[in-house]
């Protein structure tokens, strides 16, 4: 071998062996993690033969375990996304894309059957529990609706599914929002940007709500955060800043989490520092939440069927109602609602609002 | 365990490399055999005994053929019947079990296809046949023979290495720095082809499968991506196998030689899955008389071989697609021998376009879900659901660079550039090669760690 070939051979063999050895050793030395904050999911733990279905399952779970616990896993995920975007020039990375610092999930293809099934479930709930109360529905567009992406959900189609399947009055939010009303790295809307949404709901619903400008909201800052899309897309982005609106009424609201029996304020600044910053609003996900307004002049009630978006708008609507009951059908089956007959008791004066993000309607099975 | 997963790359391979180079020469084969059986066991625990039985059975048959010259023909026939019978038994269990269920009113589940059975059965048969023909030396050491048959780099998805290819190296192989280094570089190239190109092309193919009413533009995106995916998936695996072989001192035959630049179907099959084509040529086509027979018989031989090639790829109830795929190539090869070949030889671009078109349509048939699925996919290509749609345009745009890289990567251009650089500026390659290897490893690892499991397409054969 010529000396130059020898150098090349030694260098090639050395970098390969060092690379494999480094990560091979690091994956065993680095302590196992239980949960990935970036990906919002539990990580695979050391496989146990007794827990596996069979030997094949046991061996394949080692692959999942080593990949989940891989040293520098998050950095490698960012490397992958960066390569896909900057070298392969892919428009999206595994269904996530970024436009002017705002990230979104590509919701394609639209799952018409799932949306129809969810709407049928909402109608079943309405007929069963609230036959005499006026009902409304509003669909929150996903971020991509406001982005320059040719693929996305067919909102006219979603409207048709609702009109045919749910006996409720439509409240259109499509023209009341824009891209800047959503966080850059999160799927959610910003509470402080919901003036137009608040106004359209104020007019449609029967609560005694003042105009947004007269509500006396003060904007407070919770802090900076990375939203759920940041970790899932693994694309570079600036941190978002979360703000929340408050006034005298909101400060006096009491929140009861029926899942745990816990009571407290509607804004949970400790929860903001947890895995999901959006848990600032009403403390996070729960099947049944009860917001009571001691300053209310009447006894009007709002029953709000919702996903996580509903948690941030509910405090703003509280002034118009004596109480708001928030039901998340992702965490409770409709049949179990009969156990909450007192809380969900409704008459002609009760407003029932189905407020769902298109993303949840398309991707998740309610109930 | 597969070559592109974390347990193989970061546990199995480094530990085996250390042990292998610490083990004395005379014990290296035993170590490789044990490691190969462990490798297979982690992927296919319940059929590991079948692999061992195949090794032992063919070892004994070859021993008997050599030791009992008078009975060697019946012994060979028995060996072939048992090998082919086992292959057919598992490959078409869905067919015969559903027949059995219909007949007896039972509800037996079809058997899973043992990993790599098509590959190792053909390897085993080649040994037994070659011993019968006197073309291969009898291997009296059962462990040495089992090491050949079970050798993990080529066990699951080829190349189909014949015993004669590695006979000498089984007992006297040299381990050189150049082989070790070039083997690792070749392995890395294969890994990148599989993980970066094939898997990403596969994602585009999946979007086509998820679309409700894909347009012709989407259909053609799928056809192009699938043809490229299957090439990079399979040739990537072959690169990894050949590279690992060199690391352990073996020199396996090449399996691919830029098939998409072929100017005729004949040339395509000289460049695509070369070890399978060679196997059928030497053990089926030539024994049938090859081309040294009457013209009708020659055509029949071609059709037989290509129907069998299709059958080899098929399994379960979707076998008809593969038989048709093989027969399509059989018919086209007949036409080439009769008259098309002359046209292609005169006007090579026509032949090249023909090969590309046939390959695209052929792989659509190959990748479809049954005959009805194939017809549906072909109808899409011709605009059954419209000529274009926003999703198709979006994914063409999103995948444009990937497809362009893959198309260029499927030609000899990158290798020619590398060879040129080596001739003109060898010093540069001494720096560049390790840099490229570590970059490819890092990016491949990023894809492996950040992606869900994605097995090799050819594992199902």
**Residue A145, domain member (yes or no):** yes
Do residue A8 and residue B7 have CB atoms under 8 angstroms apart? Answer: no
Whether A25 shows a pLDDT value over 90: the answer reads yes
**A124 and A64, same structural domain?**
no
**A243 and A341, same structural domain?**
yes
**Residue A359, domain member (yes or no):** yes
Q: What is the ipTM of this complex?
A: 0.90
Tell me if B363 sits within 8 A of B230, measured CB to CB.
yes
A19: number of CA atoms within 13 Å, CB side? 24
Do residue A59 and residue B17 have CB atoms under 8 angstroms apart? Answer: no
Interval A258-268: pLDDT, tens = 888 899 999 99
Interval B56-101: pLDDT, tens = 999 999 999 999 999 999 999 999 999 999 999 998 888 888 888 8
B180: number of CA atoms within 13 Å, CB side? 19
Q: From CA A131, how far away is CA B145, in angstroms rounded?
A: 78
User: What is residue A3's three-state secondary structure?
Assistant: helix
Q: Is A31 exposed, middle or buried (0-12, 13-18, 19+ CB in 10 A)?
A: exposed
Q: Considering only CB atoms, which chain B residues are within 8 Å of A87?
A: 401
Domain end call among A24, A59, A77: A77
**A113 and A48, same structural domain?**
no
User: What is the structure's pLDDT at A221?
Assistant: 96
Domain end call among A77, A92, A121: A77
**A173 and A55, same structural domain?**
no
- Identify the residue among B211, B398, B400, B454 best suited for mutation to test binding to A, counting A beta carbons within 10 A and taking the highest: B398
Bond from prior residue into A109 cis (ω within 30 degrees of 0)? yes
- Selected residues 320-349 of chain B with any CB under 8 Å from a CB in chain A: none
Interval B126-152: pLDDT, tens = 999 999 999 999 999 999 999 999 999
Interval A115-156: pLDDT, tens = 999 999 999 999 999 999 999 999 999 999 999 887 889 999
Interval A79-93: pLDDT, tens = 999 999 999 999 888
**A137 and A64, same structural domain?**
no
User: What is the structure's pLDDT at A354?
Assistant: 97
Lowest-pLDDT range, A157-161, A190-194, A282-286, B93-97?
Answer: B93-97
User: What is the structure's pLDDT at A226?
Assistant: 93
**A149 and A50, same structural domain?**
no
Do residue B430 and residue A7 have CB atoms under 8 angstroms apart? Answer: yes
Domain end call among A62, A77, A92: A77
The two beta strands, A262-264 and A301-306, are: unpaired
Interval B301-331: pLDDT, tens = 999 999 899 888 877 667 888 888 889 999 9
User: What is the structure's pLDDT at B451?
Assistant: 78
Which residue range is the domain that position A347 belongs to?
Answer: 104-363
B356 to A263, B325, B326, B363: CA distances (angstroms): 69, 15, 16, 11
> CB of A23 within 8 Å of any CB in chain B?
yes
Helix/strand/coil percent split, chain A, to 5: 45, 20, 40
> CB of A56 within 8 Å of any CB in chain B?
yes
> CB of B14 within 8 Å of any CB in chain A?
yes
> CB of B185 within 8 Å of any CB in chain A?
yes
User: What is the structure's pLDDT at B453?
Assistant: 39
What chain A residue is nearest to B429 in terms of C-alpha separation? A8
Which active-site residues of B does the annotation give?
Answer: 313
Q: Looking at the partner chain, which of A70, A76, A108 has a beta carbon nearest the beta carbon of B391?
A: A108
**A194 and A109, same structural domain?**
yes
**Residue A146, domain member (yes or no):** yes
Q: Looking at the partner chain, which of A8, A66, A150 has a beta carbon nearest the beta carbon of B7?
A: A66
What does the mean pLDDT of chain B come to?
Answer: 92
**Residue A91, domain member (yes or no):** no
User: What is the structure's pLDDT at A207?
Assistant: 85
Q: From CA B355, how far away is CA B368, in angstroms rounded?
A: 20
Q: From CA B322, how far away is CA B329, in angstroms rounded?
A: 11
Q: From CA A311, how far away is CA A331, in angstroms rounded?
A: 14
Q: From CA B206, how far away is CA B213, in angstroms rounded?
A: 14
**Residue A97, domain member (yes or no):** no
- Identify the residue among B39, B446, B451 best suited for mutation to test binding to A, counting A beta carbons within 10 A and taking the highest: B446
**A123 and A58, same structural domain?**
no
Q: From CA A257, how far away is CA A263, in angstroms rounded?
A: 6
Whether A230 shows a pLDDT value over 80: the answer reads yes
Q: Considering only CB atoms, which chain A residues are within 8 Å of B456?
A: none
Kindly report the nearest CA distance between residue A358 and chain B, in angstroms: 19
Do residue B447 and residue A80 have CB atoms under 8 angstroms apart? Answer: yes
Whether B459 shows a pLDDT value over 80: the answer reads no
A143 to A201, A277, B290, B398: CA distances (angstroms): 20, 18, 64, 20
Q: Looking at the partner chain, which of A7, A76, A151 has a beta carbon nearest the beta carbon of B449?
A: A76
* B266-275: average pLDDT: 94
In this prediction, residue A45 has a pLDDT band, given cuts at 50, 70 and 90, of very high
Query: How many inter-chain contacts (A to B, CB under 8 Å) are there?
Result: 156
The two beta strands, A323-327 and A301-306, are: parallel
* B294-307: average pLDDT: 91
**Residue A96, domain member (yes or no):** no
Domains: count for chain A: 2
**Residue A123, domain member (yes or no):** yes
**A265 and A130, same structural domain?**
yes
Q: Which two tokens stand for residue A269?
A: 């600044």
In this prediction, residue A1 has a pLDDT band, given cuts at 50, 70 and 90, of low
Question: DSSP assignment of A184-250, as one string?
Answer: SSSSSBPGGG-HHHHHHHHHHS-S-PPPGGGS--EEEEEEEE--HHHHHHT---PPEEEEEEE-HHH
Q: From CA B308, how far away is CA B301, in angstroms rounded?
A: 11
**Residue A95, domain member (yes or no):** no
Helix/strand/coil percent split, chain B, to 5: 80, 0, 20
What does the mean pLDDT of chain A come to?
Answer: 93
**A334 and A260, same structural domain?**
yes
Interval A240-253: pLDDT, tens = 999 999 999 999 99
Interval B202-248: pLDDT, tens = 999 999 998 888 999 999 999 999 999 999 999 999 999 999 999 99
Bond from prior residue into B82 cis (ω within 30 degrees of 0)? no
Do residue A5 and residue B426 have CB atoms under 8 angstroms apart? Answer: yes
**A189 and A59, same structural domain?**
no
* A37-45: average pLDDT: 87
User: What is the structure's pLDDT at B454?
Assistant: 47
**A335 and A193, same structural domain?**
yes
């Amino acid at each position: 071998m010529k000396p130059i070939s020898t150098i090349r051979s030694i260098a090639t063999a050395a970098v390969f062996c060092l690379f494999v050895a480094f990560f091979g050793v690091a994956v065993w030395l680095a302590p196992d993690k239980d949960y990935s904050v970036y990906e919002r999911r539990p990580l695979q733990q050391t496989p146990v033969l007794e827990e596996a279905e069979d030997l094949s399952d046991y061996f394949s779970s080692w692959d999942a375990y080593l990949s989940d616990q891989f040293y520098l896993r998050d950095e490698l995920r960012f490397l992958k996304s960066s390569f896909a975007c900057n070298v392969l020039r892919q428009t999206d990375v595994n269904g996530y894309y970024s436009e002017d610092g705002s990230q979104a999930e590509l919701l394609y293809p639209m799952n018409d059957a799932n949306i129809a099934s969810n709407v049928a479930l909402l109608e079943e709930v309405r007929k069963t529990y609230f036959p005499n109360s006026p009902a409304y529905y509003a669909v929150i567009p996903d971020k991509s609706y406001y982005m320059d992406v040719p693929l996305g959900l067919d909102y006219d189609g979603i409207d048709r599914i609702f009109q045919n399947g749910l006996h409720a009055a439509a409240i259109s939010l499509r023209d009341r929002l824009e891209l800047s009303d959503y966080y850059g790295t999160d799927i959610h809307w910003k509470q402080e940007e919901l003036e137009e949404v608040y106004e359209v709901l104020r007019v449609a619903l029967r609560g005694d709500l003042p105009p947004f400008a007269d509500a006396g909201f003060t904007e407070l800052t919770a802090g900076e955060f990375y939203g759920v899309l940041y970790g899932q897309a693994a694309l570079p982005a600036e941190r978002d800043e979360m703000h929340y609106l408050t006034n005298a009424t909101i400060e006096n609201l009491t929140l009861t989490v029926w899942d745990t029996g816990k009571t407290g304020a509607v804004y949970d600044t400790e929860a903001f520092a947890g895995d999901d910053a959006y848990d600032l609003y009403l403390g996070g996900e729960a099947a049944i939440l009860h917001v009571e307004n001691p300053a209310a002049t009447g006894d009007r009630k709002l029953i709000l069927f919702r996903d996580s978006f509903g948690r941030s708008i509910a405090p703003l609507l509280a002034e118009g109602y004596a109480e708001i009951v928030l039901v998340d059908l992702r965490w409770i089956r409709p049949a179990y609602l009969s156990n909450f007959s007192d809380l969900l008791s409704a008459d002609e004066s009760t407003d029932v609002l189905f407020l769902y993000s298109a993303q949840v309607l398309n991707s998740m099975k309610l109930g | 365990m597969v070559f592109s997963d974390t347990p193989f790359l970061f546990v199995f391979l480094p530990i085996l490399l250390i042990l292998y180079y610490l083990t004395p020469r005379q014990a290296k084969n035993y170590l490789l055999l044990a490691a190969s059986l462990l490798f297979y066991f982690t992927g296919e625990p319940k059929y590991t005994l079948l692999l061992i039985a195949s090794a032992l059975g063919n070892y004994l048959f070859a021993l008997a053929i050599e030791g009992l010259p008078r009975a060697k023909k019946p012994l060979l026939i028995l060996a072939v019947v048992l090998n082919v019978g086992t292959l057919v038994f598992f490959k078409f269990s869905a067919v015969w079990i559903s027949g059995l269920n219909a007949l007896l009113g039972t509800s037996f589940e079809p058997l899973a296809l043992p990993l790599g059975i098509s590959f190792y059965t053909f390897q085993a048969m080649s040994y037994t046949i070659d011993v019968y023909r006197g073309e291969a030396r009898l291997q009296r050491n059962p462990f040495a023979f089992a090491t050949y048959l079970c050798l993990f780099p080529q066990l699951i998805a080829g190349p189909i290495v014949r015993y004669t290819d590695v006979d000498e190296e089984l007992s006297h192989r040299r381990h050189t720095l150049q082989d070790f280094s070039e083997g690792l570089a070749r392995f890395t190239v294969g890994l990148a082809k599989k993980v970066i190109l094939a898997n990403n092309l596969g994602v585009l193919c999946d979007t086509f499968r998820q679309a409700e009413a894909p347009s012709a533009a989407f259909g053609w995106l799928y056809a192009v991506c699938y043809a490229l995916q299957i090439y990079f998936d399979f040739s990537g695996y072959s690169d990894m196998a050949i590279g690992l072989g060199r690391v352990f001192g073996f020199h396996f035959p090449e399996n691919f030689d830029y098939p998409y630049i072929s100017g005729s179907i004949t040339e395509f099959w000289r460049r695509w899955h070369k070890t399978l084509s060679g196997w059928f040529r030497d053990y089926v086509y030539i024994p049938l008389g090859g081309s040294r027979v009457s013209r009708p018989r020659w055509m029949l031989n071609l059709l037989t071989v290509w129907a069998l090639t299709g059958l080899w790829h098929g399994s379960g109830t979707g076998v008809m697609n593969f038989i048709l795929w093989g027969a399509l190539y059989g018919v086209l090869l007949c036409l080439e021998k009769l008259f098309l070949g002359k046209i292609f030889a005169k006007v090579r671009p026509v032949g090249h376009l023909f090969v590309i078109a046939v390959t695209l349509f052929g792989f659509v048939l190959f990748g479809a879900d049954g005959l009805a699925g194939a017809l549906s996919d072909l109808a899409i290509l011709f605009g059954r659901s419209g000529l274009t749609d926003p999703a198709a345009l979006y994914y063409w745009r999103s995948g444009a660079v990937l497809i362009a890289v893959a198309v260029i990567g499927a030609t000899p251009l990158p290798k020619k550039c590398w060879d040129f650089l080596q001739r003109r500026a060898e010093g540069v390659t001494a720096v560049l090669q390790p840099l490229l290897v570590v970059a490819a490893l890092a990016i491949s690892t990023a894809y492996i760690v950040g992606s869900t499991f994605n097995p090799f397409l050819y594992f199902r054969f």
